[in-house]
């Protein structure tokens, strides 16, 4: 009995000594958040203060109730956003799938046995197995770190999907209103040119206009008529696009898109903050930062594979044979040594280091691209804002010139070609104004999206379901 006690004490001492020896090696990789030398302001903007934009409903700056309704419907119904939310659930499940340090494995078996020349026997067995992986190098710890980082990646990807949805929906709505405005202008131009044809026919009958003037007037009408079907098709296409973005089939949107069709124009300038705000506001930057964190954690996992693995295991069992029963158990450590020539595992560590450096460089590249996008979007927005008043003035003056020319033609002070040219100028100026309004609205959207504004808006909206 004393000998068994000494052996048990010796085994326990050996086990404890092994654990202490193994724990002397560490695979912990200190994580330092990536750093970037931001300037204190954007080049295009003046001095500003930090601002958190994740919940900013910037589309409300258009003061368009139809657009507001579309955004609300899209945030609750868009299927790409639903897929992104499911990826969060998947990442959370993957965290739970990381192998546990210990487990219990119960098993039971009852069977009737018969040997030749002997009687029947009933055999029953019950076993409870247990195992515990001692993790001195932190392999599981690093795996859990990486899995938690992927949850945050999936969360940031959902914010990125929400931001992309707001971009696509807003631009589709802006383009819809642009095409509707241009269609209205073309129909107005068609009416004006039909009036010019009637005037030209009258002057031709009076020998005050040539047949060339008559043919050119008819050609202008045909040209305008040819432009209308393409615009009608573009309008239908944008309506279909908007419906799909909100998660419904074309024709089943349930929101009126024809009445009150005016081109959106922002009535307020967006807050831009400072460049360092992008770290909080841009989901793509957060994605890259978490990917870098996960890559660093994977280095620890690869390094842990270079060292021995120590586990404790045991089993407690009970056997019953025709009423006779007995028990058995075992318990002890197991040491698994790495291969003697583990070049492949060392190469895996080097590969993990390389992947971490790559993700760090990707993070910096994403930050640089974000700053570039904001700077360019600000310049574009400012340029369109300056062009708007000049475009309005141009369209107004050309309309006035066409009206004066028409009066001169009736009085014999101008020719039909001059009137036709004046109408072309009006058409060009009207379309240019519509394009300026569209460009200004789209640049407003691009600026807000490049800032990351609104990426967390509507997180509480219900996730759509599919059948």
The per-residue pLDDT for range 251-308, each reduced to its tens digit, is 999 999 997 778 999 987 888 999 999 999 999 999 999 999 888 888 888 887 777 7
Q: What pLDDT does residue 362 have?
A: 94
Rounded mean pLDDT of 223-235? 95
The residues with which 133 forms a beta bridge, in sequence order, are 311
Band of pLDDT at residue 330, cut at 50, 70 and 90: low
- Other CB atoms within 10 Å distance of the CB of residue 77: 19
Instruction: Find the distance separating the first CA and the last CA of the chain, reported in whole Å.
Output: 69
pLDDT band at 11 (very low <50, low <70, confident <90, very high): very low
Are 71 and 138 spatial neighbours (Cβ–Cβ below 8 Å)? no
Round to whole Å and give the CA distance between 152 and 298: 16
- For residue range 128-187, what is the model confidence (pLDDT) as tens digits? 666 666 677 777 777 888 888 889 999 999 999 999 999 999 999 999 999 999 999 999
pLDDT band for position 4 (cuts 50, 70, 90): very low
Crossing angle between the packed helical segments 283-304 and 139-205, to the nearest 10 degrees: 150
> Sheet containing 120-134: which strands, arranged edge to edge?
102-114, 120-134, 309-321, 324-336
How much is the pTM? 0.83
Q: What is the pLDDT of residue 142?
A: 79
For the stretch 83-127, pLDDT in tens is 999 998 888 888 877 666 555 677 777 776 666 556 677 777 777
Sign of the alpha-carbon torsion through 285, 287, 290, 294: negative
Distance CA(250)–CA(462), nearest Å, equals 22
According to CATH, the superfamily of the domain at 26-102+137-309+343-451 is: Outer membrane efflux proteins (OEP) (1.20.1600.10)
Write down the domain spans for the chain: 26-102+137-309+343-451
What percentage of the chain carries pLDDT values higher than 90? 52
User: What's the angle, vertex CA 375, arms to CA 373 and CA 381, rounded to 5?
Assistant: 95
For residue 324, how many other CB atoms are within 10 A of its CB?
Answer: 8
**Mean pLDDT along residues 407-412:** 87
Q: What is the DSSP string of 86-109?
A: HHHHHHHHHHHTSPPSEEEEEEEE
Which of 75, 64, 156, 57 shows the shortest CA–CA distance to 454? 57
């Amino acid at each position: 009995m004393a000998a068994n006690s000494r052996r048990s004490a010796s085994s326990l001492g050996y086990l404890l000594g092994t654990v202490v020896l193994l724990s002397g090696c560490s695979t912990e990789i200190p994580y330092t958040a990536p750093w970037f030398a931001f300037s204190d302001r954007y080049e295009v903007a003046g001095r500003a203060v930090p601002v958190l934009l994740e919940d900013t409903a910037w589309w409300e700056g258009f003061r368009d109730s139809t657009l507001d309704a579309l955004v609300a419907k899209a945030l609750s119904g868009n299927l790409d956003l639903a897929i992104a939310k499911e990826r969060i659930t998947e990442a959370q499940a993957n965290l739970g799938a990381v192998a546990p340090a210990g487990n219990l494995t119960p098993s039971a078996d009852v069977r009737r046995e018969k040997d030749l020349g002997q009687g029947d026997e009933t055999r029953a067995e019950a076993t409870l197995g247990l195992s515990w992986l001692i993790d001195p190098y932190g392999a599981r710890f690093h795996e859990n770190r990486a899995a938690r980082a992927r949850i945050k990646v999936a969360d940031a990807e959902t914010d990125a999907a929400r931001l992309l949805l707001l971009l696509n929906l807003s631009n589709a709505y802006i383009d819809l209103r642009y095409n509707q405005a241009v269609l209205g202008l073309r129909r107005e131009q068609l009416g004006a040119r039909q009036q010019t044809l009637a005037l030209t026919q009258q002057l031709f009958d009076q020998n005050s206009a040539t047949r060339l003037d008559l043919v050119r007037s008819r050609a202008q009408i045909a040209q305008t008529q040819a432009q209308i079907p393409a615009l009608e098709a573009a309008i239908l296409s944008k309506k279909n696009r908007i419906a799909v973005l909100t998660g419904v089939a074309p024709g089943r949107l349930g929101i009126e898109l024809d009445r009150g069709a005016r081109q959106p124009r922002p009535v307020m300038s967006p807050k831009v903050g400072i460049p360092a705000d992008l770290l909080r506001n841009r989901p793509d930057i957060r994605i890259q930062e978490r990917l870098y964190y996960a890559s660093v954690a994977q280095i620890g996992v690869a390094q842990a594979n270079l060292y021995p693995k120590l586990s404790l295991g045991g089993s407690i069992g009970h056997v019953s044979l025709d009423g006779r029963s007995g028990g058995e158990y075992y318990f002890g450590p197991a040491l698994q040594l790495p291969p003697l020539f583990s070049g492949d595992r060392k190469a895996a560590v080097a590969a993990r280091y390389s992947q971490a450096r790559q993700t760090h460089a990707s993070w910096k590249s994403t930050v640089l691209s974000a700053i570039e996008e904001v700077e360019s979007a600000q310049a574009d927005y400012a340029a369109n804002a300056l062009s708007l008043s000049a475009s309005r003035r141009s369209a107004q003056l050309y309309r006035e010139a066409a009206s004066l020319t028409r009066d001169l033609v009736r009085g014999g002070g101008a020719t039909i070609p001059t009137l036709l040219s004046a109408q072309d100028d009006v058409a060009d100026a009207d379309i240019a104004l519509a394009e300026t309004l569209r460009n200004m609205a789209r640049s407003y959207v691009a600026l807000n999206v490049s800032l990351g504004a609104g990426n967390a808006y509507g997180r509480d909206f219900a996730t759509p379901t599919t059948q």
